Amino acid sequence: MKLKILVTAGDGIGPEVTTEAVAALKEIAALGGHEFAFAEKRIGGVAIVQDGTPLPADTLEAALASDAVLLGAVGGNEFNSLPPDKRPEAGLLQIRAALGGFANLRPAFAFKELAVNSPLKAEIVDGADVLFVRELLGGLYFGRPREWNQSSGEAWNTMRYTRDEVARVARIAFELASKRRKKLTSVDKANVLEVSQLWRATVNEVAKEFPGVTVEHQYVDAMAMHLMNRPRDFDVVLTENLFGDILSDESAVITGSLGMLPSATIGGKVNLYEPVHGSAPDIAGKGLANPLGAILTGALILRHSGGLEAEAAAIESAVRKVLERGFRTPDLVRGNTQGLTVLSTKEMGAKVRETVKEKLLALSH
Ligand code: NAD
Ligand code: IPM
Ligand code: MN
């Protein structure tokens, strides 16, 4: 299998965690005889500083010419006073729009070993396995008009969706649900917003194509609570852009750390892969970042862009094994460290690679 992967590491901990994800992918390539070609380009704050724009033209060109894009994270405190269209985050939104992927898959899987790390009781989180399908190209993020009118002291954004935009992401969510536990929860605010009423009506229409999947609707406020009270009840959770952003970070509480969460954006010209977390300026450059979310994002590249299911599963089970063996980054430790070994970002990456190797060698014998 040949794959051309563009790495846009970005800011803060982005470069630290993508380095480990790329190293894991290189290990997979070496063990399986695959040809993965990696190129690197700038995005975000680092591109603002060096190129004067958060998404340089050559980055976009290289992205469109690859089979997959792996993005670390963008953003930094030094850019906080800039308007939205000048910030590092604008580069991320521009590359998402240009690559065209509208279905952002954010799996939140509660590894048993990390249950103690969740503030929720182990019996609540153990076995939770939720797949968020977040619509990524519509809603408040892209709706127009949008403006901060300084003279009138008003500002507005527009939450807009078309029926087709909802139907296409709903179809992906239903297809995924039909291959999982066959339950889909659609999240909206249909008691208040017209755009949510359109969302709900469209989801119900698409549901008719998938009679094997059970559908339920939840209001986003109640859903925020249900997720914490009974995360195991949810299988696929379909949401619009902003609700999905918020609920997927909330699901970090189920998994024990934001640093555990991967994502894959599909449905467009080129799939985009990003860990869910941001640039974490508070811990950047210190070797404290958890690379597992980025490494698990690498597994999603293998699954969704490479069709390499066994190799993707090997990374996922290596992550599980490393946790079983008591290895942790600092975010995965809460209180008692007895029996645990706390590792740096690089050490954790190396530990996963070692274990991936064991897994794949065992498979080939
Ligand atoms: P954040 O996700 O960067 O960090 C939130 C908290 O989680 C911090 O305490 C951080 O230390 C911790 N954390 C995050 N990832 C971690 C990891 N891998 N290992 C250990 N701890 C981790 O969110 P924030 O602080 O709200 O935002 C910081 C910047 O990142 C902002 O500029 C924001 O816009 C940007 N951001 C970018 C992306 C992206 O590029 N995909 C996503 C979210 C936020
Ligand atoms: C995410 C981030 C981004 C989003 C920001 C940085 C634009 O929070 O990927 O979750 O809101 O989509
Ligand atoms: Mn987010």
Which residue has the CA at smallest separation from atom 11 of ligand 2?
245
**Quick check: 360 pLDDT over 90?**
no
From CA 337, how far away is CA 334, in angstroms rounded? 8
Q: Is 221 a catalytic residue?
A: yes
- Delineate the domains of the chain, giving CATH numbers in brackets: 1-118+256-365 (3.40.718.10), 119-254 (3.40.718.10)
Model pLDDT, residue 62: 98
Percentage of residues of the chain with pLDDT beyond 90? 96
pLDDT digits 0-9 by tens, 208-239? 999 999 999 999 999 999 999 999 999 999 99
Beta carbon of 250 within 6 Å of any ligand 2 atom: no
Q: What is the pLDDT of residue 364?
A: 77
Residue 311 Cα, ligand 2 centroid: separation in angstroms? 28
Q: 249-304: per-residue pLDDT in tens?
A: 999 999 999 999 999 999 999 999 999 999 999 999 999 999 999 999 999 999 99
Rounded Cα distance, 281 and 264, in Å: 23
Residue 169: per-residue pLDDT: 99
Q: How far is the CA of 256 from the centre of ligand 3 (A)?
A: 16
Residue 294 is predicted with a pLDDT of: 99
Q: Does position 332 have pLDDT exceeding 90, yes or no?
A: yes
Q: What is the mean pLDDT of the chain?
A: 97
Q: How confident is the model at residue 161, as a pLDDT?
A: 98
Which pLDDT band, with edges at 50, 70 and 90, does 363 fall under?
confident
Distance 221 CA to ligand 2 centre (A): 20
80-103 residue pLDDT tens: 999 999 999 999 999 999 999 999
Answer yes or no: is the C-beta of 277 below 6 A from any ligand 1 atom.
Answer: yes
Pocket test for ligand 1, best of 74, 85, 258 (most atoms within 8 A of CB): 258
Interval 153-194: pLDDT, tens: 999 999 999 999 999 999 999 999 999 999 999 999 999 999
> Which residue's structure tokens are 């942790």?
328
- Decide if 323 contacts 113 (C-beta within 8 A): yes
| Centre of ligand 1 from the C-alpha of residue 344, in Å | 18
State the Cα angle at 186 between 252 and 93, rounded to 5°.
60
The per-residue pLDDT for 362 is 81
Confidence of residue 359 (pLDDT cuts 50, 70, 90): confident
Cβ of 92 below 6 Å from ligand 2: yes
For residue 264, the Cα-to-chain-centroid distance in whole angstroms is 6
> E strands along the chain, which residues?
2-10, 35-40, 68-73, 103-109, 129-135, 147-149, 154-156, 183-188, 214-219, 236-239, 264-266, 271-273, 327-328, 341-342
Answer whether 281's CB lies under 8 Å from 77's CB.
yes
Q: Which ligand is nearest to the CA of 75?
A: 1
Nearest CA residue ID for atom 16, ligand 1 = 259
Task: Verify whether ligand 1 is closer than 6 Å to residue 259 (CB atom).
Answer: yes
Which of the listed residues 69, 89, 248 should we mutate to test ligand 2's pocket, taking the one with most ligand atoms within 8 A of CB? 89
- pLDDT (tens digit per residue) in 94-149: 999 999 999 999 999 999 999 989 999 999 999 999 999 999 999 999 999 999 99
- Residue 365, pLDDT > 80, answer no
The catalytic position among 58, 85, 112, 221 is 221
pLDDT of residue 337: 85
